[in-house]
């Protein structure tokens, strides 16, 4: 048994799951179907992420949903090689990033299917859904094939 495995036995290794709110339910349903859904304000036209009850631009409650293109560019990123919460030890190295969606909102995500050394700010990426369990599929991003 490795040192990491014996240490892992001392911790709760259960993965944290998203907390679904009434106003975010459609987002998770969309993700299960492979769709990246963004909220859309019917009053001012703002595209909104993360899901909310009110538009952050004009405070309207008239909010609908639109499917995003799934395309984005990397705004910034950080790769974890060590010193992360025990529940994520099996994932390292992994890269957390903020990406700017083509529709405007900035989203925190992971960059996958790319060696950490090859990830660059400004890189074009596309959404790919990562299955956590039967209910939750997380929107991660991978480099766009050239
Ligand atoms: Zn608005």
CA 57 / ligand 1 centre spacing (Å): 5
pLDDT at 7 > cutoff 80: no
CA of 146 to the centre of ligand 1 (A): 36
Tell me the whole-structure pTM to 2 decimals. Answer: 0.89
CB of 111 closer than 8 Å to CB of 126:
no
The C-alpha atoms of residue 133 and residue 22 are separated, in whole angstroms, by 20
Beta-bridge mates of residue 113: none
Return the exposure string of 92-109: e unless at least 16 CB atoms fall within 10 Å of the residue's CB, then b.
eebbebebbbebebebeb
Choices 2.40.50.840, 2.60.40.10, 1.10.420.10, 1.20.210.10: CATH for 69-146: 2.40.50.840
pLDDT in tens, 106-141: 999 999 999 999 999 999 999 999 999 999 999 999
Spell out which residues have Cβ within 5 A of ligand 1, the ion. Answer: 41, 43-44, 46, 55, 57-58, 60
Provide the pLDDT for residue 8. 56
Could you report the per-residue pLDDT of 30-77, keeping only the tens digit for each? 999 999 999 999 999 999 999 999 999 999 999 999 999 999 999 999
- Residue spans per domain, the chain: 19-67, 69-146
In order of 58, 85, 106, 107, 141, the CA distances from 100 in angstroms are: 21, 26, 4, 6, 11
């Amino acid at each position: 048994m490795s040192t990491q495995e014996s240490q892992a036995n001392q911790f709760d290794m259960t993965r944290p799951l998203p907390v679904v709110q009434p106003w975010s339910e459609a987002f998770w349903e969309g993700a299960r179907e492979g769709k990246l859904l963004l909220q859309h304000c019917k009053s001012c036209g703002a595209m909104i992420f993360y899901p909310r009850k009110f538009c952050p631009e004009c405070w309207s409650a008239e909010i609908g949903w639109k499917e995003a293109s799934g395309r984005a560019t990397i705004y910034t990123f950080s790769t974890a090689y060590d010193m992360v919460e025990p529940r994520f030890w099996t994932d390292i190295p992994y890269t957390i990033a903020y990406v700017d969606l083509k529709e405007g909102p900035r989203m925190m995500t992971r960059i996958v299917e790319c060696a950490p050394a090859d990830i660059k700010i400004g890189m074009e990426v596309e959404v790919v859904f990562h299955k956590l369990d039967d209910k939750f599929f997380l929107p991660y991003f991978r480099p766009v094939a050239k």
